[in-house]
Structure 1
Amino acid sequence: MSTQPDTPLSLSPEVADAVATHAPIVALESTLLSHGLPPGRNLEVARRLEGVVREAGAVPATIAVLDGVPRVGLTDAELERICSPDAELDKLSLRDLGPTVALGRSGATTVASTAALAAAAGIPVFATGGLGGVHHPVPGTNVTWDVSADLGTLARTDVLVVCSGMKSILDIAATLEVLETHSVPVLGYRTDDFPAFYLRSSGHPVPHRVDDPAQAAAVVTAHRRFSSSGVLLANPIPVEHELDRDVHDRLLAEGLELVRKRGVTGSDVTPVLLEHFHTASGGASLDANEALVLSNADLAARIATELAR
């Protein structure tokens, strides 16, 4: 891998060439692979994600920090490493990048850290599953300080994030308000309803709608004339993979009760809830997760191709 001058990033030769020639590139996160999917399936999905991006005409750039080096574009051996059940990988948000690099550690990047590294590498498009957001208040209070770093990072990072909204365990209305406060454009792809990850609609409208990759690219280009913030494009899960709403609501209620009984708080809440969804749904939520992130990668690659024109 080649290290770019004046930057601590290590870009793969393919990614470095694509950046230099302004070819379409799509950044992909690694936390989904190391912490979100079970061993075996995670490597399969990692390879499928990169394949989907290539088929749509773009270069995939999976991002992780390995042995203190932020790597943008991984070899197959490096993909195997981050997907290994024996890998000792931290979950890295943006605040964790400096310590991890300085101490020579390894970790998988979240939405916030992936977006920041993608922008630093000159990659304008990033595909993921779901965005972080504002958590509901702790029972007995009416305020929460648990707000994902994804939102603040997107507010100051010039990158298009293609996702399927955010998980329904979050306060979606409050999250959309935070994005509005930070002047982050929120677009719905072929929808007027903001999606909620496993569900195609959260019940909240999107401020703006686009119906093809060219329109999305035009919005991104126009937005850059006025602001250095990112853009959020919400792409609903494919209709055939959406979870049944009654099943979803039951699993969510069970998961929240499980969290309450265990006294789980902070960043540990989401992994516990997702594990309950995966187990109690008989794997249906894993299928849904895989389907939506592949759909987002395909759409991101098509938009990246339009931007590269």
Structure 2
Amino acid sequence: MTPETARPHIDIHPEVAAALEAGTAVVALESTIITHGMPYPDNNAMAARVEEIIREEGAVPATIAVVDGRLKVGLSAAEREALAQVSGAMKLSRADLAFAVAQGRTGGTTVAATMIAAHLAGIGVFATGGIGGVHKGAETSFDISADLDELARTPVIVVSAGAKAILDIEKTLEVLETRGVPVIGYGTKVMPAFWSRTSPYAAPLTLDSAEAIAGFHRTRGALGIVGGMLVANPVPEEAEIPAEIMQGHIAAAQADAGKNRVTGKDVTPYLLSRLLEITDGESLRTNIALVENNARLAARIASAL
């Protein structure tokens, strides 16, 4: 239920509001993948297809974004189309979500900001591509995504294809363990690496059904354990880029980022854009496939809760 203090700032789409009122399954979706992750019109087409998949699974999609200072929980088709074409949108996390609302700005919500908004609206499941995490070289740059702390504090199940492979997956897992965040490999004992089905690292936990994941979440709540859960869902085999190939592409993109002095929030969008060029579009096709796959699983988990 949305707190009274937040209500003046939030617009919940009528379809989402009706589903929440009726107890129907709802799945939150982030919007940085629209504003920063893919070029137009691929971004809007992808977002529309992901919403369609969620509906096919019997749930209601709620794409979250800030539009002209309004925190939107669920977008109309026209709003989504307009957001897909916005230039200069902010990339919003916990630190600047309220800033964008207060200043009347427009921005895409990261994993952290989407979790905050989903929880405010009473949505317990969220599908994304990959979470942020510990960047390579963080021992000197201290570049660690706010997504990890949000997973530790906000009780939302996040379904992703693991941490983005441009990150230091090993250190990301260590931070999540320290923060007490359960990381569940869905049908796998090995952590996926976003574009690739495998990485060198074991999945801390493994569950094989949406019902089992929902049951784990309920048990955590019954025991008074706060915070979210991360479900690592491997990209479909037919869509993956093998890890040994992707590693070379990532190294080249990271070298370019270093040469161009790309830092902070600009790193991930730069690398994704550069990888799109290096792979001649293959990384985008895989990205779309994994987001669709995650949406399907998230809808099934939401229905099982």
CA distance in 1, matches of 2:255, 2:103: 38
Q: Supply the distance in 2 between the matched residues of 1:173 and 1:53 (Cα, whole angstroms).
A: 31
1:173 maps to which residue? 170
Question: Match of 1:233?
Answer: 231
Given that 1:94 and 1:112 are in contact with CA atoms closer than 8 Å, whether structure 2 keeps it comes out as: yes
CA contact (8 A) 2:93 2:109 kept: yes
Unmatched tracts of structure 2, length 5 or more: none
**Cα distance in 2 for residues equivalent to 1:4 and 1:64:** 18
State the match for 2:17 in structure 1.
Answer: 16
Q: Which amino acid aligns with 1:112?
A: A
> Corresponding residue for 2:35?
34
Query: Structure 2: how far apart are the matches of 1:69 and 1:218?
Result: 34
CA contact under 8 A between 2:194 and 2:235: conserved in structure 1? yes
Number of the residue aligned with 1:109: 109
One-letter identity of the residue aligned with 2:104: G
Deviation at 1:266, TM superposition (A): 2.2
1:224 to 221, 234, 246: 221
String of CA shifts for 1:7-66, please: whole Å, max 9, x gaps.
Answer: 232101111111112210000011101111110111111110100000001000000111
1:150-176 deviation line (CA, Å, top 9, x unaligned): 001111001000000012221111111
Equivalent residues in 2 for 1:121-270, closer than 5 Å: 121-137=121-137, 142-226=139-223, 227-270=225-268
**TM-score, normalisation: structure 2:** 0.95
2:217 counterpart letter in structure 1? V
CA contact (8 A) 2:134 2:143 kept: yes
Would you say how many aligned residue pairs link Structure 1 and Structure 2?
A: 301
CA distance in 2, matches of 1:89, 1:264: 18
Q: Secondary structure at the match of 1:205?
A: coil
> Does the alignment pair 1:95 with 2:92?
no
**Structure 1 residue 77 corresponds to structure 2 residue 78:** yes
Identity fraction in percent? 47
Output the amino acid matched with 2:37: G
Deviation by residue 1:222-277 (Cα, 9 ceiling, x = unmatched): 11123110010000111111103333122112112212222222222222221121
Amino acid at match of 1:99: F
Aligned to 1:49: 50
C-alpha displacement of 1:202: 1.6
Output the CA distance in 2 between the equivalents of 1:261 and 1:65.
33
Moved more, 163-172 or 287-296: 163-172
Amino acid at match of 2:74: G
Distance 1:121 1:87 in 2: 27
Gaps of 5+ in 1: none
- Tell me if structure 2 keeps the 8 A contact 1:53–1:59: yes
CA-based RMSD: 1.5
Are the structure 2 counterparts of residues 87 and 277 from structure 1 closer, same or farther at C-alpha, using a change threshold of 3 Å?
closer
Q: Which moved more, 1:125-134 or 1:168-177?
A: 168-177
In structure 1, C-alpha distance between the alignment counterparts of 2:268 and 2:102, rounded to whole Å: 28
Provide TM-score, normalisation by structure 1.
Answer: 0.94
- Aligned-residue offset at 1:144: 4.0
Task: Report the secondary structure of 2:131's partner residue.
Answer: coil
SS at match of 1:269: helix
- Is residue 129–residue 293 contact of structure 1 (8 Å, CA) maintained in 2? yes
